[in-house]
């Protein structure tokens, strides 16, 4: 009990307020949590996760789409709209990659042998293998009591996960494609059966109103909900945690200034991971 209490105290210390960060940096509490878990388990801060790799590419898509949106004009509509259609599809693919990377770190932090739950698959060492979020979604639906913290995490986010994963799957597997509608701003819809109405019309949304909630959601999922999940697992003794002594992680990438501004605007009421100062 004492060791668990000490681990929780060290975990909570990650969120202590420090100096204000530059505009191009964000606090990365998830990486801090994973480093402490790896340190306690293996006495190593090495991470097998590709989360940062996936996040940088997703945020890069967001930055490029925002620039296209802001530069939209009738005289350049053909070129800008075509580029935006490609980038919105790219963003959805990259979002799915990131979601699966998060599923991967959840799985490798669990015991290797769990009835009803497979392990990461693929050739080579563990760090090059893949694990699908769909496996976790099916697992908690069938076995909700194995980890109540995991069930809460995924069921609270199931609707958003399935929405974005299904949209990516439509594009990759079922020939769906993004369509930019040219109004006074760029609006995006998808040419497939999922969003088509009975009269053949395609629903469409302002491009910024489509992509920004996706970025806000996945950041909250990573930096708030998933971090809280790990805290709950540490509190019940299912995971160990120890401070690595290097302070909270900070990240910066192309597009981080715009992302930080978005998070501070949209997530100001959240307690920890959504306000990055």
85-97 pLDDT, tens digit each: 999 999 999 999 9
Residue 273 confidence (pLDDT): 44
Closest CA to 219 of 160, 162, 168: 160
- Give the Cα separation of 113 and 97 in Å (integer): 24
Indicate the pLDDT class of residue 194, thresholds 50, 70 and 90: low
- pLDDT recorded at residue 87: 96
For 42-51, what is each residue's pLDDT tens digit? Answer: 777 666 678 9
pTM (2 decimals)?
0.90
Per-residue pLDDT, 272: 44
**Long-range CB pairs of 53-58, under 8 A, 24+ apart, other chains included:** 53/101, 54/94, 54/97, 54/98, 54/101, 55/98, 55/222, 55/251, 55/253, 56/253, 56/254, 57/94, 57/97, 58/91, 58/94, 58/95, 58/97, 58/98, 58/215, 58/218
CA–CA distance from 109 to each of 36, 70, 226, 229 (Å)?
12, 42, 12, 11
- For residue 166, count other CB atoms closer than 10 A to its CB: 15
Report the C-alpha gap between 22 and 251 in whole angstroms: 11
Residue 203 has pLDDT above 70, yes or no: yes
What is the rounded average pLDDT of the residues 245-254? 81
Query: From CA 268, how far away is CA 179, in angstroms rounded?
Result: 32
The band of 196, judged by pLDDT with boundaries at 50, 70 and 90, is low
């Amino acid at each position: 009990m004492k060791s668990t209490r000490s681990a929780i105290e060290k975990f909570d210390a990650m969120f202590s307020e420090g100096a204000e960060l530059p505009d191009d940096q964000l606090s990365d509490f998830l990486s801090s949590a994973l480093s402490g878990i790896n340190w306690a388990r293996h006495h190593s801060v090495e991470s097998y996760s590709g989360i940062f790799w996936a996040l940088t590419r997703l945020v890069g898509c967001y930055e490029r789409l925002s620039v296209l949106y802001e530069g939209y004009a009738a005289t350049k509509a053909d070129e800008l709209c075509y580029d935006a259609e490609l980038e919105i599809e790219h963003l959805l693919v990259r979002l799915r990659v990131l979601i699966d990377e998060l599923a991967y770190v959840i799985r490798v932090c669990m015991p290797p042998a769990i009835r009803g739950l497979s392990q990461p698959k693929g050739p080579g060492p563990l760090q090059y293998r893949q694990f699908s979020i769909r496996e976790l979604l099916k697992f908690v639906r069938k076995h909700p009591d194995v980890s109540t913290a995991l069930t809460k995490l995924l069921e609270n986010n199931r609707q958003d996960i399935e929405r974005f994963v299904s949209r990516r799957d439509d594009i990759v597997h079922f020939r769906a494609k993004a369509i930019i509608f040219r109004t006074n701003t760029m609006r995006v819809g998808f040419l497939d059966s999922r969003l088509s109405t009975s009269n053949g019309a395609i629903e469409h949304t302002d491009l910024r109103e489509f992509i920004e909630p996706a970025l806000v959601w996945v950041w909250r999922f990573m930096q708030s909900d998933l971090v809280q999940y790990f805290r709950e697992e540490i509190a019940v003794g299912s995971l160990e945690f120890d401070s690595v002594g290097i302070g909270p992680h900070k990240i910066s990438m192309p597009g981080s200034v715009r992302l930080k501004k978005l998070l501070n605007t949209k997530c100001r009421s959240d307690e920890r991971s959504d306000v990055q100062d």
